[in-house]
Amino acid sequence: MTFPILKLIAQRIALGFVLLLAVSVLIFVGTQILPGDVAQSILGQAATPESLANLREQLGLNDPAYLRYLHWLGGVLTGDLGTALTSGQDIATSISGRLWNTLFLAFCAAAIAVPLAILLGLLAVRYRNGPIDKLVSGLALASTSFPEFFIGYLLVYFFAVKWQIFPGISTVYEGMPFSERMMAVALPATALTLVVLAHMMRMTRAAILNVMQSAYIETAELKGLSPFDIIRKHAFPNAVAPVVNVVMLNLAYLVVGVVVIEVIFVYPGMGQYLVDHVAKRDVPVVQAVGLIFAAVYITLNIVADIASILANPRLRHPK
């Protein structure tokens, strides 16, 4: 029994590496076909042809594309993400603190969104087609209808400008007291929570309702078990696999989808760092951040896949 599970897990991990390699090719190609000249962007319009030629030679822009890709990939595999063209700083060093900030923000949002989504999904199933189910589903639909930038600006207007409860600019720094850090991330974390809460809640509700159609649920009802006990003891444990999948996919979105929220709240995370350097056409930074986002997303999807395999015995023996 153990060997087939380990084989499936190894296959998922190997597939993840292959997918990440393919994504690295797409990221490199995408940054190379962008319009404009990197050397011209760095030196400005007043640069002489000689200085432009020297910079292109220094950056290796005259080498064939496949050689530049292999050089970049080799550096990534050894932990060298390159050097930022605009600042000359090591990208890995610059990213480390910002990656921690992004993960902290995503964790705060997940700590609220995941249990709340599961609780609301269970309540919606328990009182399905009733006022509570309609209220929860209606609020979820309204939440998913608003784009995240609109939610962010609403939170800034009411809680930062009008009521002045939380800061509108989420400035965090190393050594910042935990209470102050929590105050700073309150609004962006709330915005991210509202963005992913509705989807997780609706998928949790759908997964449990699908299980509620099973024959053993009808048997439990005939035994006289209360609706809450049926959901808690029978329906929810058998709906764990799809719920875990949804949770992991939304956690992946929390990490890689924070770009808009970080820009709105000027939060010093990976998203803000990416946007700043896209505007400067700093290709090595864009490549590094894009690859990190892809690695996080693929990793969390693999974790979701493995969790589903472990939670659902039927997935261990595919027909």
Q: What is the pLDDT of residues 99-145, one digit of tens each?
A: 899 999 999 999 999 899 888 888 888 888 888 888 888 888 787 78
Tell me the pLDDT band of 240, cut-offs 50, 70 and 90: confident
Domain residue limits at 185: 97-271
In a domain, 50, yes or no: no
**pLDDT higher than threshold 70 for residue 313:** no
In a domain, 22, yes or no: no
**Measured distance CA(182)–CA(190) in Å, rounded:** 11
What average pLDDT does the segment 51-64 reach?
A: 78
**Measured distance CA(208)–CA(215) in Å, rounded:** 14
What average pLDDT does the segment 262-277 reach?
A: 90
Give the total number of structural domains in the chain.
Answer: 1
In a domain, 155, yes or no: yes
Single-letter amino acid, residue 262: E
In a domain, 258, yes or no: yes
In a domain, 105, yes or no: yes
Is this model's pTM higher than 0.85 or not?
A: no
In a domain, 209, yes or no: yes
CATH number at residue 258: 1.10.3720.10
In a domain, 192, yes or no: yes
